[in-house]
Amino acid sequence: PPLLALLCLGAADPDPDRDPDEPWCPYKVGGDGAKLCFRPPARGFQCSARGCRSHRSAGGALVANVLRNGSVLLQWGLRHWGPPAPRPSASLRGFALNCSWDGTYTRFPCDSVELGAACRDYLLAEAHGSVRYRLCLRPRFAPPRPAPPAQCVEFRVEPAAMRDIVVAMTAVGGSICVMLVFICLLVAYITENLMSP
């Protein structure tokens, strides 16, 4: 965390047109090749019913917005972590995000992510389709303040290709059904009116 804070203070703003009062979100992705990244916060994002589905954790602090393009935008706030509800203060050191997803026979871990204290959202850009994700977020405070329990959210990402196939098959199936109805009516008309007894 001290190195993360030092890098945040010394980093140049990559977007000069951005509001200088709005802090960047620094985060570090774990794994073999850990890397430090920065992203602007997604302020004012609203999950629309047509292109997005929201999944909220049991405590209400963490929300996963699953978008149609297969990405997931996580949003959280501190006021729902309780009781007692932690207040934003200098003791907040950041957040720890852990995730896993269910495969065919076992559960696979995702990359662990450490986020700065200014972060209130995180974008999971490429989520696997047709698997169940479980993401848990825990705020980290300076000692002696204990860390509150993590809040977790579970969701499933529907693959866009499969959704398009289902829509296309439904349209084709409906057309075939309409054609069969017309054929049946035509056969019944011919049988009743044109053929001899």
State the amino acid at position 79 in one-letter form. Answer: R
Please say if the pLDDT value at position 63 is more than 70: yes
Average pLDDT of the segment spanning 34-50? 83
66-122 pLDDT, tens digit per residue, is 988 888 999 998 776 654 544 555 688 899 999 888 876 777 777 789 999 889 999
Q: How far apart are the first and last CA of the chain?
A: 92
Look up the pTM and report it: 0.65
CA pair distance 49, 141, nearest whole angstrom: 36
In this prediction, residue 2 carries a pLDDT of 47
> Which residue's structure tokens are 């001290």?
2
Q: What is the pLDDT of residue 186?
A: 85
Radius of gyration of the chain (CA): 25
- 11 pLDDT band (50/70/90 cuts)? very low
Which residues contact residue 12 at a Cβ distance below 8 angstroms, ignoring those fewer than 6 apart? none
**β-strand 121-124 against 25-29: which pairing, if any?**
unpaired
Residue 185 has pLDDT above 70, yes or no: yes
Question: Could you read off the pLDDT of 12-30 as tens digits, one per residue?
Answer: 444 444 455 667 899 988 7
pLDDT in tens, 124-165: 887 877 788 899 999 988 887 777 888 999 988 876 555 556
Looking at residue 167, the DSSP 8-state letter turns out to be H
Which tokens belong to 81?
Answer: 């972590």
Distance between CA atoms of residues 64 and 180, nearest Å: 44
Please state, as a whole number, how many other Cβ atoms lie within 10 Å of the Cβ of residue 37. Answer: 11
In angstroms, how far is CA 182 from the centroid of its own chain? 46
Closest by CA to 135, choosing from 85, 187, 63, is 63
Q: Can you tell me whether residue 164 is helix, strand or coil?
A: helix
- Give the DSSP per-residue string, 80-133: TS-SSPPPP-TTEEEEEEEEEEE-SSSEEE---EEE-TT--EEEE--PPTTSEE
CATH fold of 7-158 reads Immunoglobulin-like (2.60.40)
Across residues 3-15, what is the average pLDDT?
Answer: 40
Give me the pLDDT at residue 99, please.
86
The DSSP bridge partners found for residue 55 are 64
